[in-house]
Structure 1
Amino acid sequence: MNQVVNIPNVVTALRFFLSGVLAVMLMPEQTPGLAFWSFLVFIIAAASDWVDGFVARRTKAETVLGKLMDPLADKVLVATALIMLIPLGRLPAWLALVILCREMIITGLRGIAASAGIVVSASGLGKAKSVTQYVGLATLIFPADMLPIPALHQIGLGILYVALLLTIWSGVDYFLKLKNIFLAPAE
């Protein structure tokens, strides 16, 4: 297996694929059974974020491609869930917009850093943000008719408000850590 096609990168590619599957499964016309399967697809995709990183570090199979594509796959998964939850009435559009804007800005900043030869890995704060987003989104994706706790969707929304704060905080943190690269004059 060459360095680009390795298990962690394949798992990352799977997360991109599962994001597309999730988009189809979260259509407003979904049945209760399909709603539960969409929850499972999201959980598997979110868990793959941990799996690819763990395997890459454990087998020393980290690649530049993986360091760039892994966070992008996370953003695609989160964006898919955020956007698809809006028409289901489980998420206000403004909340999704703020999170998505931060994700696009950080992706752009990572691209600028990469063009300067610097690969920006996720920070601890960024990882906490991702986990909080995943937990909140999973709670909102869980089918309403199968809820063990009547207010579970409200709890999920509350978790996403916490994720929003972490999202903004980690975005500012990335910018401050890398501001010298971003503000350097162009050559």
Structure 2
Amino acid sequence: IIFAVAALTDTLDGMIARKYNLITDFGKFMDPLADKVLVCSGLICFVELRQLSSVIVLIVIAREFIISGIRLVASDNGVVIAAAMSGKLKTVVQMVTVILLILNLPKLSLVTNIFIILMLFLTIFSLCEYIIKNKNVIMSSK
């Protein structure tokens, strides 16, 4: 329940910020960071419970570190990288996946497995998209 409430408040926070034009550079940086902490901590728990492969979680965590590194380099160059749609979709799918894993319902095991695969695909896809879109920021750091 706590995870679901945290995920819901994150969604509402974003909707309110956009509706009332309260989007800030701080929010563009901190909101994805909070999402990473929420999702990754949940996923790590499922590795410990042996409900999720550590390889999948390592891919997710590696992606988050890489994107954070790109954002840090961009920030040093005065550029703020907002979350791309693929990254937002990835986060939603990750949160739904964690909720499905928490529920651990046998009737939903196929759906849960589909979401795990979708989460992995979107994690890799969004990483590639961020790298391609921001290659100029990455190259300027060398």
TM range (shorter): over 0.9
Shift of 1:49: 2.0
Partner of 1:168: 124
Partners of 2:97 and 2:112 within 8 A in 1: yes
Amino acid at match of 1:43: A
Q: Distance in 2 between matches of 1:185 and 1:65?
A: 22
Shift of 1:157: 3.0
Q: Which runs of 5+ in 1 are unaligned?
A: 1-39
Partners of 2:70 and 2:137 within 8 A in 1: no
Partner of 2:115: 159
Partner of 2:33: 72
Q: TM-score, normalised by structure 1?
A: 0.72
* Partner secondary structure for residue 48 of structure 2: coil
Q: Distance in 1 between matches of 2:6 and 2:49?
A: 20
Partners of 1:90 and 1:153 within 8 A in 2: no
Amino acid at match of 1:89: R
Shift of 1:154: 4.6
| Comparing 173-182 and 59-68, the one that deviates more | 59-68
The alignment-based identity, stated in percent, is 39
Deviations 1:15-46 (A, max 9, x none): xxxxxxxxxxxxxxxxxxxxxxxxx1111111
Q: Which runs of 5+ in 2 are unaligned?
A: none
Shift of 1:151: 3.9
Partners of 1:102 and 1:168 within 8 A in 2: yes
Count of aligned residue pairs for this structure pair: 142
Amino acid at match of 1:136: T
Shift of 1:156: 1.5
Moved over 4 A (4+): none
> Which of 85, 88, 94 is residue 127 of structure 1 equivalent to?
88
Shift of 1:155: 2.7
Q: TM-score, normalised by structure 2?
A: 0.93
Q: Distance in 2 between matches of 1:165 and 1:44?
A: 25
RMSD: 1.4
CA gap of 1:112–1:154, structure 2 versus 1, over 3 A, is same
- Which has the higher Rg, Structure 1 or Structure 2? 1
Q: Relative contact order, CA 8 A, sep 6+: which one is greater? A: 2
